[in-house]
Chain A
Amino acid sequence: GAVVSQHPSRVICKSGTSVKIECRSLDFQATTMFWYRQFPKQSLMLMATSNEGSKATYEQGVEKDKFLINHASLTLSTLTVTSAHPEDSSFYICSARLPGPSVPGTQYFGPGTRLTVL
C-alpha cells in the first residue's frame, strides 16, 4: 500500500526557534501533498496544499510567512514553523494524494509530528 512517513515524530523546541518537519511518500510519487494541524480532541484543519514545483496554496487564516512549505521533489514536502511560539504547539499531519484515476481523491496520511514549543 501507499506509505507516507514524517520526521520527526516528536519535537520540543524553545520559543523563537524554527522547526522543520519532513513528509515523504515512500512508494509512490505525489504531485500534491497536504499539511494539516490538529488540536487535542479536534478534527484536522487543512493548512495548505503543496504542489511539486510550485508555490503552496494556503488556507484562509494561515500565515504563509510563518508556515513555510517547500515541495521540492515528487516524494518530499517540508513544513517549517518559523519563530515558533507556544501557541504553535500542535499535532501536524501531512498527507499525499495517490495519483491516477482509479483512486480519485484518496489521501494517505503520515503518522504525524507532535510539536511542543516551550
Chain B
Amino acid sequence: AQSVTQLGSHVSVSEGALVLLRCNYSSSVPPYLFWYVQYPNQGLQLLLKYTTGATLVKGINGFEAEFKKSETSFHLTKPSAHMSDAAEYFCAVSGSGNTPLVFGKGTRLSVIA
C-alpha cells in the first residue's frame, strides 16, 4: 500500500523567496514519485518525477525535488518564487507496473508581492 502526506495545506511566500513544499510518502515497494501543479479550473501538469537514478531531479519552471529514502521524503523547492507560481501543488506516488497514482491532499501556494 502507498500513501502520501503533504505537510501544510497552504503555504504563503513573498515574491523572490524560497519555496519549500513538503511531501512524505509511504510505500512497500520502491516508489516512483511525482509533483504536479494545478491552476484553477485546469487539469494537472507534471512538474517533475523521480523513478530511478539521480535523487535530485529538476523540473519545469525552475522547480526541483530531492528523493531522500532515509527520510521517505520528496520535498519540492524553488529558489525564488514568482507570482505565476501561485497554484495548487500535488505530490503523488506509484509503484511499478500499472498501479495508479496515489495523491496527497495538495498544498496551495500563495505568492505575495
Residues of A within 8 A of B (CB): 4, 6, 32, 34, 41-44, 46, 49, 91, 93, 95, 97, 103-112, 114
How many A-B pairs have beta carbons closer than 8 Å: the answer is 58
Closest Cβ of chain B: how far from A28's Cβ, in Å? 14
B43 lies within 8 A of A93 (CB): yes
B46 lies within 8 A of A106 (CB): yes
B32 lies within 8 A of A105 (CB): yes
CB-contact partner of B36 in A42, A105, A109, under 8 A = A109
- Chain A binding site: helix, strand, loop or mixed by DSSP? strand
> Quick one: which of B50-107 are within 8 Å of A by CB?
51, 90, 94-96, 98-101, 103-106
A44 lies within 8 A of B42 (CB): no
Residues of B within 8 A of A (CB): 32, 34, 36, 41-46, 49, 51, 90, 94-96, 98-101, 103-106, 108
- Chain B binding site: helix, strand, loop or mixed by DSSP? loop
CB-contact partner of A49 in B36, B41, B49, B100, under 8 A = B100
CB-contact partner of A44 in B51, B96, B98, B103, under 8 A = B103
A104 CA to B104 CA, complexed, in Å: 19
A2 CA to B80 CA, complexed, in Å: 28
A43 lies within 8 A of B103 (CB): yes
- Best-buried of A44, A104, A110 by chain B (most CB within 10 Å): A44
